[in-house]
Amino acid sequence: MTRSRQLLLIMLATAGTTPAADPAPSPKPTLVSVTRIWDKAPHCAFTDLMRWENRWLCCFREAQGHGGDNGIVRVISSTDGTAWKSLATLKQPGIDLRDPKLSVHPDGRLMLLMGGIVNLKAKYHTRSPRVAFSHDGHTWSRPATVLAEDHWLWRVTWHKGTGWTVSKLNEGRKPRRGFLYKTRDGLKYEYVTEMETEGISETTLRFLPDETMVALIRPRWIGVSKPPYREWTYTDIGQGIGGPNFILAPDGKMWAAGRKYGKAAKTSLATMTGTSFRHVLELPSGGDTSYPGMVIHNGLLWMSYYSSHEGGKTSIFLAKIKL
């Protein structure tokens, strides 16, 4: 494919007159508040956040450290975002459950997607995704293993009754590849295409009103595709991002968050389009940090994340941001 042809496809996919340009200047977002909401384990990390039936749900991993030991997944809840209580824990003997992501299945059940790692002598051995369901957020089904070993489904995005997700396959020095899957029930996954970009890892997918699918991909990519989502174009955003997440605001703007790399790692908020990415606000954070959950509610962006900037202990934080 010629360079000019690729640029044309990007323009068509993002449906913009000047897709390579940053968003028009606008007032910068401001941090309204940030609160530590959980720190009851030595290492609390890898969050997700959801507004469900007039209450907040936040999930994350609890363990002794960042990796190498067997973690559990905890779900906490709050009616006001200030007072939080433990709602459920999920664990499996001999398995490190991590990176939990919440979604609502089309039949109304809560769905929790997790990675399940088998460690041998504190070193990675193999893994496979796990899925659990709940009607109330308190009682969960036993985590079911999906796909084959060495896959890692990182986040499911439901759209018109179908769940879409990207699996990263292989670790370490092996070639890391990414595959787009879709599902109707959350348990059986149908292969769609390979995401052919370098080093693909954690990926969040969202849908634009015109059915364009947008992917924010670790380590440094934005991908866009039109139905049936087998052909993709990619933009190198020129900087690394860890634990990437993004959402569409009511006005159509895309807001992203994740780990910003530099002299010190930070959890940061950014604006993005189908071909651009720009950090606009660093949150109080540092050290081991990132993996945000994002919800727009009552005119504010509510964002969960974890960080070790307060005394070196990783804790869960909740920020409120005026966009």
The two structure tokens encoding residue 230: 């087998």
Cα(147)–Cα(78) distance, integer angstroms: 33
Amino acid identity of 160? K
6 pLDDT more than 90? no
The two structure tokens encoding residue 285: 């954070």
Tokens 């809560």 -> residue: 110
Q: Is residue 1 very low, low, confident or very high in pLDDT (cuts 50, 70, 90)?
A: very low
- At the top level of CATH, the class of 3-15+26-322 is mainly beta
Nearest to 47 by CA among 269, 200, 243, 287: 243
- In the chain, where are the structural domains located? 3-15+26-322
Q: Each residue of 54-113: pLDDT tens digit?
A: 999 999 999 999 988 899 999 999 999 999 999 999 999 999 999 999 999 999 999 999
167: left (phi over 0), alpha (psi -120 to 50) or beta: beta
Nearest to 208 by CA among 166, 239, 253: 253
Cα(101)–Cα(103) distance, integer angstroms: 7
Query: What pLDDT does residue 61 have?
Result: 98
Global confidence as pTM:
0.90
Question: What's the Cα-to-Cα distance from 154 to each of 12, 169, 178, 181, rounded to whole Å?
Answer: 28, 11, 11, 11
DSSP state of 288: S
Residues 6 or more apart from 123 whose CB is under 8 A from it?
Answer: 68
Query: What pLDDT does residue 225 have?
Result: 98
Helices (H), 61-217: none
Cα(183)–Cα(73) distance, integer angstroms: 23
Q: Each residue of 266-294: pLDDT tens digit?
A: 999 999 999 999 999 999 999 999 999 99
DSSP state of 261: P
23 pLDDT more than 50? no
Q: Is residue 14 very low, low, confident or very high in pLDDT (cuts 50, 70, 90)?
A: very low
In angstroms, how far is the first alpha carbon of the chain from the final one?
39
Question: Do 294 and 314 form a contact (C-beta atoms < 8 A)?
Answer: no
Question: What's the Cα-to-Cα distance from 110 to each of 94, 103, 163, 220, 254, rounded to whole Å?
Answer: 25, 6, 13, 30, 25
Cα(173)–Cα(165) distance, integer angstroms: 24
Sign of CA dihedral 271, 214, 116, 49: positive
Residues 6 or more apart from 199 whose CB is under 8 A from it?
Answer: 176, 219
In the chain, what are the helix, strand and coil shares in percent, each to the nearest 5? 5, 55, 40
Cα(38)–Cα(13) distance, integer angstroms: 41
Bridge partners (DSSP) listed for residue 51: 56
Query: What pLDDT does residue 20 have?
Result: 39
Q: How many CB atoms lie within 10 A of CB 262?
A: 12
DSSP state of 107: T
What does pLDDT average to over the chain? 91
